[in-house]
Structure 1
Amino acid sequence: MTDVLTGPASVTQERRLVTEVPGPRSRELLERRTAAVASGVGLTLPVFVERAGGGVVVDVDGNSLIDLGSGIAVVSVGNAAPRVVEAVQAQVAAFTHTCFMVTPYEGYVAVCEELSRVTPGDHAKKSALFNSGAEAVENAVKIARHATGRQAIVVFDHAYHGRTNLTMALTAKNMPYKQGFGPFATEVYRVPMSYPYRDEPGLTGPKAAARALALVEAQVGAGNVAGVLIEPIQGEGGFVVPAEGFLPAIADWCRASGALFVADEIQTGFCRTGDWFACEAEGVVPDLITTAKGIAGGLPLAAVTGRAELMDAVHSGGLGGTYGGNPVACAAALATIQTMREQDLAGAARAIEATMLPRLRALQERTGVIGDVRGRGAMIAIELVRPGTSEPDAELTGRIARACHAQGVVVLTAGTYGNVLRFLPPLVIGEHLLTEALDVLDAAFAQEAGAR
């Protein structure tokens, strides 16, 4: 892994604390936030960012923090990546909006062409562009239902697919995503996920798939299923990597039953897991694939890409939206994809994995409170448990995260039980920053869990 300088030249690639975290200026802004912003909008770390680039964010107090979150897997090419900045500036100077459905523009078409190239499979594909991951998932469900003439959508335990009414129904976790917001959309059916750490011993991927599909056939009926929607590696659910063979078995069943295999690659896509898309690790080719997050270097853009005949099954006007495929976001996406190719960021993700996994496994051996180390590429997690058990320890997870934050390392939590620390560094992060962040994590465990 090589150190790649991205973003504004003024963003030095180092961790540097000049005040406590959060500092006085951030605390002032937090008071304004509390007064003006709805309390339902959550907050992980109360530092207000002034600039960012490469693997660091700099707050309004001058503290430089190592970024192991990437805005939840969004700025994979780094904040203010040079090609993205150049492309966005040029597009803003030309025009900012026309609505593609009114007077179209080349950028939208070019993004769809790139999606046809980079997504799995060599079949004919088409795409439609949207604003957010949840919007992409909603439209994938619409397409699956329209194309198949069926209604049932199968999802999995621990899944996260968004916060709109339909995607809340698809999402598994109640708090904070669903509590008090029902009733939810119907014809959504949930089955068990392959979760190797928590499954019974000996439950292989194919056996876990058979367990889930037996429930579908008995309780839903194969002929009623429009699509099976799955994250190839679950995101908010805790970076759960299904056992080998699980995804191919689900995809095979979909082909045999006439249902669509719909891959939610919103968090896993665009080089994050060491391939362009996580499905590629087992050679799975989705019928439909949803993307967002890392697609556009931080600008809001999402897509559904699928087999051309499925995408074309929807009548004219059935897909779209005023802002979907905004020209500035499209320019950013084209620059982001070019950057990923030129810098081999899939390879960079694999190098990040090679650095992180040995360190985290060593920490697991020393502490006795890490039940599982898992993930792929630059999508890595540790699941914290009470010593000698598999009982989730959300309280310790929160303490470790806060200790890292106080020392200038941005980490995120996740998991159905709130006991997973997840790491999503920018793919351009320097190895020295990654190593230093892991040193801070080691110290946090020593402080909060008595690790040596």
Structure 2
Amino acid sequence: MNATETLIAAADARSAHNYHPLPVVVATADGAWVTDVEGRRYLDLLAGYSALNFGHRNPRLVDAAKAQLERVTLTSRAFHHDLFARFCEELAQLCGMEMVLPMNTGVEAVETAVKTARKWGYRVKGVPGEMAKIVVAGGNFHGRTTTVISFSTDPEARADFGPYTPGFQIVPYGDLTAMESAMTENTVAVLIEPIQGEAGVIVPPEGYLRAVRELTRERNVLFMADEIQSGLGRTGRTFACEDEGVEPDVYVLGKALGGGILPVSAVVASADVLGVFQPGEHGSTFGGNPLACAVALEVMAMLRSGEYQERSARLGEHLHRELQALLGTGKVTAVRGRGLWAGVDVSPAVGTGRQVSERLMDRGVLAKDTHGRTIRIAPPLMISEEDLDWGLDQLRAVLGV
């Protein structure tokens, strides 16, 4: 066996089989490219599901992490550290909000948002105890903890992990009438992705987010936007909600906030919402740690320049123009997305999404399938147009067009 086969066999022998990765073993990475243990280079068109929006080992982010490693990395929230206040202030300002509750992974932030909504519902809205309801959308992906899979419609994520947590009402994504019908006096929040990533980069109907905002405001219900994948530049704006001029009550953030270096997540909202927490009611040993704050502060500085949002918008137009040209070839049945984010549905005649991803890998491109036939394309926002075009050339070659 070669080095790749040996390492994959070793991983399969000792690691739980909760993932089915492509058979590539990455050893080094830089920008939009990775190199495997055999020395083969690949263009990364997945970017860690948007965790690598700024590319692999972005020099500004690496330098920020190195500088902080020389100072202090962890205190726990038992003590203050000198970057925490600045991190909270700048993230609140970026979101146009007032308060921040930092966590680590995206699903921790979602769990935090759920607890926030329930606490707000009981303490502020006056919902009777144990009666709070949260409306969510079918096809959602908010993570895989026990509570979160309780409102998933994905059988793979949900099957055999019950009993499930109550308190959630699932409605079809994009269906405002169904959402309105699901709301009762005990509804405390609507939790949705402005664009559904794992479902295949599903963009809701025009005006849907605005209508959700109006409806939740009328019903005294929190609008919680899970921007873990869609936020921080991916769609050509800082947040996907901005595409419809919408400001939610709660932002749920993660992935790119850690710059592809370490997990950083947060819930960001007004003081009226996050102010419901008292000491001891929620927390995290690593949430808001000095190293995380140092990297996230540099991420926010890069976003404030607008450079990455502009690149995503400009290159995104090019990406979608090229992908739309594949429709009508008989090889692609649908293209969706916004900015540097696309879901491409391949015809069964071409093969499964997994097979197409493997053929792309053989040609030096890394992408990943979802739900059988959709290829997700989400390169780092710093990718060059030349590299993007080369990657699209490989996709056309694999599709035979």
Partner of 2:137: 156
Quote the Cα distance in structure 1 between the aligned partners of 2:278 and 2:347: 50
Q: Deviations over 1:142-176 (max 9, x none)?
A: 1111112141011111100111011111322111x
Residue 22 of structure 2 aligns with which residue?
Answer: 45
Matches within 5 A, 1:111-190: 111-119=87-95, 121=96, 124-149=97-122, 150=127, 151-175=132-156, 177-190=157-170
Q: 2:361 corresponds to which residue? A: 405
Q: Distance in 2 between matches of 1:133 and 1:171?
A: 15
Match of 1:272 in 2: 234
Q: Distance in 1 between matches of 2:69 and 2:23?
A: 31
Instruction: Measure the CA separation in 1 of the matches of 2:38 and 2:302.
Output: 31
Question: SS of the counterpart of 1:154?
Answer: strand
Displacement of 1:252: 1.0
How far the C-alpha of 1:44 sits from its partner, in A, is 2.4
Give the SS at the match of 1:229.
Answer: strand
Residues of 2 paired with 1:409 and 1:312: CA distance? 46
Report the residue type matching 2:162 in the other structure. G
The answer to whether the 8 Å contact 2:91/2:300 transfers is: no
Report 1:22-41 matches (<5 A).
24-40=2-18
Unaligned runs of 5+ in 2: none
1:116 CA displacement: 1.3
Match of 2:278 in 1: 315
The aligned runs of 1:29-108 (5 Å cut-off) are: 29-40=7-18, 42-99=19-76, 101-108=77-84
User: Offset of 1:381 from its aligned partner?
Assistant: 1.2
Asked if 1:296 is matched to 2:272, the reply is no
SS of 2:89's equivalent in the other structure is helix
- The residue number in structure 2 matching 1:11 is none
Give me the whole-angstrom Cα distance separating, in 2, the residues matched to 1:55 and 1:212.
Answer: 40
User: What is the CA–CA distance in structure 1 between the aligned matches of 2:100 and 2:141, rounded to whole Å?
Assistant: 22
Measured in 1, the distance between the counterparts of 2:305 and 2:27 equals: 28
> Which of the numbers 311, 323, 331 marks the counterpart of 2:294?
331
Alignment partners' CA distance in 2, 1:248 and 1:385: 33
Give how far 1:109 is off.
2.1
- Does the CA contact (< 8 Å) of 2:34 and 2:43 recur in 1? yes
**Contact residue 348 and residue 373 of structure 2 kept, 8 A:** no
Q: Which residue of 1 aligns with 2:310?
A: 347
CA drift of 1:396 comes to 2.5
Give the 3-state SS of the residue equivalent to 2:352 in structure 1.
helix
Letter in 2 for 1:410: L
Partner SS, residue 365 of structure 1: coil
Q: Contact 1:160/1:170 (CA < 8 Å) preserved in 2?
A: no
Aligned to 1:106, the other structure's residue is in SS state coil
Letter aligned with residue 12 of structure 2: T
Provide the residue aligned with 1:370 in structure 2.
332
Deviation at 1:385, TM superposition (A): 4.2
3-state DSSP class of the match of 2:84?
helix
**Shift in Å at residue 406 of structure 1?**
1.1
**Structure 2 residue 338 is the aligned partner of structure 1 residue 361:** no
SS in structure 2 opposite 1:363? coil
* Pairing 1:408-419 to 2, within 5 Å after superposition: 408-414=364-370, 417-419=371-373
Equivalent position of 1:209 in the other structure: 176
Is this contact kept in 2: 1:156–1:230, CA < 8 A? yes
> Structure 1 residues 186 and 427 mapped into 2: Cα distance closer, same or farther (>3 Å)?
same
Check 1:313–1:131 CA distance in 2 against 1; reply closer, same or farther (3 A cut). same
Q: CA–CA distance in 2 between the matches of 1:263 and 1:192? A: 16
1:443 aligns with 2:397: yes
Work out the CA distance in 2 between the residues paired with 1:102 and 1:147: 25
Give me the TM-score of the superposition, normalised by structure 1: 0.84
TM-score (norm. length: structure 2): 0.94
Distance 2:171 2:360 in 1: 35
* Secondary structure in structure 1 of the residue aligned to 2:42: strand
What displacement does 1:343 show? 6.4
Q: Which runs of 4+ in 1 moved over 6 A?
A: none
Specify the alignment match of 2:202 in structure 1.
240
CA contact (8 A) 2:202 2:337 kept: yes
Q: Which amino acid aligns with 1:131?
A: N
Tell me the CA shift for residue 386 of structure 1.
Answer: 4.7
Q: Which SS does the other structure have where 2:158 is aligned?
A: coil
Please tell me the residue identity of whatever aligns with 2:374. Answer: V
1:208-241 deviation line (CA, Å, top 9, x unaligned): 3123322x04xxx2x1111000000001111110
Residue type of the alignment partner of 1:294: A
Q: Is the 8 A contact 2:31 2:55 kept in 1?
A: yes
Amino acid at match of 1:438: L
Distance 2:319 2:346 in 1: 17
Matching residue of 1:431: 385
Residue pair 1:77, 1:340 contacting (<8 A) in 2 also: no
Q: CA deviation at 1:295?
A: 0.6
Shift of 1:384: 2.9
Q: Quote the Cα distance in structure 1 between the aligned partners of 2:82 and 2:232.
A: 22
Q: CA deviation at 1:108?
A: 2.4
